Amino acid sequence: MDVKPQQGLPSTLVVQNFIAGAPRASAATFERRNPANRDDVVTVAPLATASEVQEACKAAKAAQKQWARVPAPQRAQVIGRLGELLRANKEPLSRFVSREMGKPLREARGSVQEAIDTAEFFQSEGRRLYGQTVPSELTQKELFTYRRPIGVTAVITAGNFPIAVPSWKLIPALLCGNSVVWKPSDDAPGVAALFFDLWLRAGLPDGVLSVVHGRGAGSAGEFLVQQVEAGLVDKVSFTGSTQVGRSIGEICGRQLQTPSLELGGKNPLVILADADLELAIEGALWASFGTAGQRCTSAGNIIVDQRVMPEVRAQLKRRAEALVIGDPLNEAIAYGPMINERFLKNWIAQRERGLADGASLLVDGARIAKETAGEHFVGDAERGLYATPRIFDKVTMSMSVAQEECFGPTVNLVEVNGFDEALAAANATPYGLSSAIYTRDASAMLRFKEGISAGMTSINNSTTGAEAHLPFGGNGWSGNGTRESGIWVIDAYTRWQAVNVDLAGKLQKAQIDVADAAPPDPLDWAALVQ
Ligand code: UN1
């Protein structure tokens, strides 16, 4: 890592790939610019070649065997030190997260905290990683189960949570004795380099973790997945789009591997007629427009009982139009810029799709330009990728805008009559990541929990904001059923081994050499059958 001064701006971080325990210079590079100020080159990162990626995987294979022999409580010491380093550097790291990918500083602090929480949780898990002792059906025989590491893990992550989500993968994968080759997002290569540096300082041995940078198709991420077929990667953990996840799933499936896939969402937030409307509207605003709508867990459809729809509509419009947007370092803002031009372009195009579907615009979001920036804008519109909130009204669940995920500040209002219609609408997308319901009715809470197909469900809270030690993941197109975080993720990074130890000194055959109790006399059912 190197720094290059910039005139009137913080320095540019120049990062390298890190392969087989050593930094690797590269001729081909790309720039990551600050989405709040496109003049600011935050990071210059290399484009790893196919052979560099392969080399990283080979080194990871060699290093994994040694790493797996280190006792788990000692591996966990590295993770404990990582947590301490994250805590000691939380403020500058959070500021760098904001600068590189544009989320508000207080959210950036929260996302670094999520990584600290994850490190603390897994530090102690190193002293568990429990197996079982199981009684045998035979005498003088003992049965045990052990968790074994899977091998080389390829980790591919997105830019919206550039430190929390990688920590959900790297920490448990490494704790369990796997080695990792990580391809971070091209929206946050600098955060990745700083995080990686902390891993080295925490004492991770050479080659156990490599980082290969890339951008888009035909670069490091794709090369890494190709190593599944080459036999150099034993497990893939991916957070990103459903489309890419599907193709990773196909490649892994052919090799009979189970990847961990955390994909898109079109998360429903239901407001029933009896809800605390003040609470519900606050939750809906945060779920829809927090992080500029660029979370997997952001609300996509706000499903509202017709009896309270007029009130919800009026308040959402008023409060969305009053949201302060701008510079992520300004503590007053509700949200900052879009993470990249691709998200912005897609979000702009969504307006036409909604109108073509027949939806109407309650709040007409648009890119903020210098001339149109109103009193609620506190950034540099010319240099930043900013957008005002968009709310579609009169949306039905068959419309494409109700079905398709769109990363950005946009949400739909869907009117329903009563609980059953609300639940049906909430279940009417192919996704099933997060979900929320606002109601005071305990029976509706119960029926929603049981009836919704979603990996995560909030009662009287927003769709976003999962805690670091609960299982995170989704149903349907939101993933392949694997979960991250807490004790549940350990199943993703280990395989069970069943061991039997026979001390009898003679061959004992299971199911055969077992003394069977005399069965009861058969009942006389002869008259019932021919
Ligand atoms: C993501 O958007 O990929 O639950 C992760 C949340 C955060 C994590 C989101 N704790 O919103």
- With H, G, I as helix, E, B as strand and everything else as coil, classify residue 236: strand
Q: Is residue 213 part of a domain?
A: yes
Residue 18 to residue 210: CA distance in whole angstroms: 5
Instruction: Specify the number of domains making up the chain.
Output: 2
110 CB less than 6 Å from ligand 1?
Answer: no
CA distance 526 to 523: 9
How far is ligand 1, taken at its centre, from the CA of residue 141, in Å?
47
- Assigned domain for 112 exists: yes
Q: Which atom of ligand 1 is nearest to the CA of 295?
A: 2
Q: Is residue 526 part of a domain?
A: no
Instruction: State which H helix or E strand residue 158 sits in.
Output: none
| Nearest ligand 1 atom, CA 472 | 4
Question: Which residues are known catalytic residues?
Answer: 262, 296
Does 172 map to a domain? yes
Look at the pTM and tell me if it is higher than 0.95: yes
In angstroms, what is the span from residue 466 Cα to ligand 1's centroid?
Answer: 6
Same domain, 283 and 252: no
Give me the numbers of helices (H) and strands (E) for the chain, helices first please.
15, 25
DSSP state of 229: H
Rounded distance between C-alpha atoms, residue 414 and residue 525, angstroms: 59
In this structure, are 305 and 167 located in the same domain? no
| Mean pLDDT in consecutive groups of 10 residues from the start of the chain, 530 residues | 96 97 93 98 98 98 98 98 98 98 98 98 97 97 98 98 98 98 98 98 97 96 98 98 97 98 98 98 98 98 98 98 97 97 98 98 97 94 98 98 98 98 98 98 98 98 95 98 97 98 98 89 90
- Its sign, for the CA torsion 375, 100, 463, 117, is negative
**Cα(289)–Cα(335) distance, rounded to whole angstroms?**
7
Atom of ligand 1 nearest to the CA of 160: 2
Give me the amino acid identity at 177. G
Q: Regarding beta strands 360-363 and 325-326, do their DSSP bridges make them parallel or antiparallel, or are they unpaired?
A: unpaired
Q: Pick from 163, 263, 295 the residue to mutate for probing ligand 1's pocket: most ligand atoms within 8 Å of its CB.
A: 295
CA of 352 to the centre of ligand 1 (A): 28
In a domain, 96, yes or no: yes
Which atom of ligand 1 is the closest one to the Cα of 466?
4
Q: Report the distance separating Cα 368 and Cα 409, nearest Å.
A: 12
165 lines ligand 1 (CB under 6 A): yes
Among 400, 396, 386, 374, CA closest to 339: 386
In a domain, 500, yes or no: no
Q: How far apart are CA 383 and CA 80, in angstroms?
A: 40
Cα–ligand 1 centroid distance for 511 (angstroms): 48
In a domain, 522, yes or no: no
Residue labelled with tokens 């199911």: 511
On whether residue 508 sits in a domain, the answer given is no
Helix/strand/coil (H/E/C) assignment for every residue in 326-384: ECCCCCCCCECCCCCHHHHHHHHHHHHHHHHHCCEEEECCCECCCCCCCCCEECCCCCC
Residue with tokens 């025989």: 141
Any atom of ligand 1 within 6 Å of the Cβ of 103? no
Distance in Å, CA 160 to ligand 1 centroid: 8
Residue 172 and residue 290 share a domain: no
Q: Is the CB of residue 466 below 6 angstroms from any atom belonging to ligand 1?
A: yes
**Residue of 472, 478, 489 with the most ligand 1 atoms within 8 Å of its CB, for mutation:** 472
Q: How many angstroms does the Cα of residue 296 sit away from the middle of ligand 1?
A: 6
Closest by CA to 454, choosing from 481, 482, 474, is 474
Any ligand 1 atom below 6 A from CB of 297: yes
Clarify whether residues 56 and 201 are in a common domain: yes
Does one domain contain both 356 and 211?
no
Locate the ligand 1 atom nearest the alpha carbon of residue 294 and give its number. Answer: 2
Q: Which two tokens mark 408? A: 């950005």
Q: How many residues does the chain have?
A: 530
Choose among 183, 190, 143: nearest CA to 32.
190
406 and 424 share one domain: yes
Cβ-Cβ contacts under 8 Å for 525 (sequence gap 6 or more): none
Are 295 and 165 in a shared domain? no
> Is there a single domain that holds both residue 75 and residue 118?
yes
Segment (H or E) for 268: strand 267-271
Q: Does residue 193 sit in the same domain as residue 60?
A: yes
For ligand 1, whether the C-beta of 239 sits within 6 Å is yes
Handedness of CA 449, 466, 120, 196 (dihedral sign): positive
Does ligand 1 come within 6 angstroms of the Cβ of 112? no
114 CA closest ligand 1 atom index: 10
Determine the residue of 296, 469, 484 to mutate for testing ligand 1's pocket, defined as the one with the most ligand atoms within 8 A of the Cβ atom. Answer: 296
Cα–Cα distances in Å, from 433 out to 272, 506, 523?
21, 53, 52
| Ligand 1 neighbour 295 (Cβ under 6 A) | yes
CATH number, domain with residue 286: 3.40.309.10
Same domain, 259 and 276: no
Q: How many CB atoms lie within 10 A of CB 519?
A: 6
Cβ neighbors of 161 (< 8 A, separation 6 or more) are: 111, 114, 295
Chain centroid offset of residue 328 CA: 22
| CA–CA distances in Å: residue 339 to residues 133, 262, 324, 343, 530 | 49, 19, 17, 7, 74
CATH number of domain containing 176: 3.40.605.10
Residues 401 and 344 in one domain: yes
**Which residue from 187, 297, 489 has its CB within 8 A of the most atoms of ligand 1, so it is best to mutate?**
297
Q: Is the CB of 118 under 6 A from ligand 1?
A: no
**Ligand 1 centroid distance, CA of 164 (Å):** 8
CB atoms within 10 A of CB 130: 11
Percentages helix, strand, coil for the chain (3-state, rounded to 5) are 35, 25, 40
- Stated as kind and residue range, the H or E segment containing 288 is helix 277-289
CA distances from 464 to 109, 198, 400, 461, 477 (A): 16, 28, 23, 8, 18
- Residue ranges making up the domain that contains 327: 267-468
Quote the CA–CA distance of 52 and 213 in Å, as a whole number.
10
In whole angstroms, what separates CA 148 from the centre of its chain? Answer: 24
Sequence-separated (6 or more) residues with CB below 8 Å from residue 300: 265, 266, 267, 268, 402, 405, 406, 411, 412, 429
As beta bridge partners, residue 29 has 46
Q: Is the CB of 465 under 6 A from ligand 1?
A: yes
Nearest to 179 by CA among 70, 337, 34: 70
The answer on 155 and 54 residing in a single domain is: yes
Distance 162 CA to ligand 1 centre (A): 11
Is the beta carbon of 160 within 6 A of some atom in ligand 1? yes
Q: How far is the CA of 290 from the centre of ligand 1 (A)?
A: 11
